[in-house]
Structure formats: C-alpha cells, structure tokens
Amino acid sequence: MMQESKFLQNKLGLMGWISGGRYGIERYAYTLHRLTGLAILAYFLLHIFVTTSRLLGQSVWETVMGFLKSPVFKYGEFLVYLAFAYHALNGVRLVLTELGFFLGVPKQPLYPYTHSVRRQRPLLILVMAAAAVIVLLGGYDFLGLAGK
C-alpha cells in the first residue's frame, strides 16, 4: 500500500515542470529555480577544476584563462551570473515562505476564498525586482560601461 501511494506522488514526472496548471506563476518560478540550480551546479563542478589549475603555476593559469576569454565562455559566464541572481533571490523567497513568513495567519475558509500562494505573491514580485536590479548592475559591469 505504501509502495503504491509513493508511485502516485509524482505521476506527472518532468511534465509537472513544464506545465504550471492551476498553480500559476509560482509553479514556473519553481521550474526555473530547478533549471538554474542545475545550470549553476554544472558550472560549479567545472569551476572547481578550473580554479584548482592555479596550483600548476602562472603559465598554466594564463593559458586556461586565455581559453576561457573566448566570447562563448564570456557570455556563458554572464548567463551563470543571471542564473545566480534569479536562484539566490528566489531562494530567499522560498526560505521565507518555508518558515511561514508572508503566508498570513491560518483562518476559516470563507467565501470569497484566498489562498497562501496569492498572499505571498507581492514577495515574489519584490524578489524578482531585486534580481532584475542585480542583473542590470552586472550587465553594466559586463558590457564594460562601468570602466569608461
């Protein structure tokens, strides 16, 4: 019986990531949180080996950095920065809601019904605005405008 209920928990599988259904924008925020998390993890695993190469000395480090200065890696690194800004700020929202903040006090379900997802939506908008500011500042720096 336990085994059966376990297999019913996630019958949508990865499809549940793609379609938000009635869960609204927070469901897509969840999907994006996972995708950015996986992207950052993939980058981080490579980053460990790249940064460890400094142990081999200046010439090896400069060769590696010269290779990584190509536009593909440069723009790729900025995409990682975007992913970090989103994942970090959305993560703050998730921690706050996990701890019960911004969800309101539990109350009798009286018509017209409100639900906790809507109550924490201003927080989602706030953290996304903060992420946008961080992205803009990073883009300003990335494009070299700050150094001019």
Partner 1 sequence: MRTRESTFWTWHLLAGLIILVVLGIHMSIMHLSKLLGTGGQPNDVVEWTLVKMRSIDFAFALMYVVLLGAALYHGLYGLRTIILELTLSERAEKVVSAFIVFVGFVLFIVGGYGTIAFYVLNGPVR
Task: Cis check for the bond before 112: say yes or no (omega within 30 of 0).
Answer: yes
Q: Is 132 in the site for partner 1 (CB under 8 A)?
A: no
- Which residue among 13, 21, 106, 112 contacts partner 1 (CB under 8 A)? 13
Q: Is 141 in the site for partner 1 (CB under 8 A)?
A: yes
SS3 sequence of 3-49: HHHHHHCCCCCCHHHHCCHHHCHHHHHHHHHHHHHHHHHHHHHHHHH
Residues in binding contact with partner 1, number by CB under 8 A: 38
Based on CB atoms, which residue is closest to partner 1, 66 or 112? 66
CB 92 within 8 A of CB 127: yes
Q: Is 142 in the site for partner 1 (CB under 8 A)?
A: yes
Q: Is 15 in the site for partner 1 (CB under 8 A)?
A: no
Q: Is 41 in the site for partner 1 (CB under 8 A)?
A: yes
141-146 long-range contacts, CB within 8 A, separation 24+:
142/78, 142/81
Amino acid at 108: Q
Residue numbers of the site for partner 1 (CB under 8 A)? 6-7, 9-10, 13-14, 34, 37-38, 40-41, 44-45, 48-49, 51-52, 54-55, 58, 61-62, 65, 81, 84, 88, 91-92, 95, 98, 137-138, 140-142, 144, 146-147
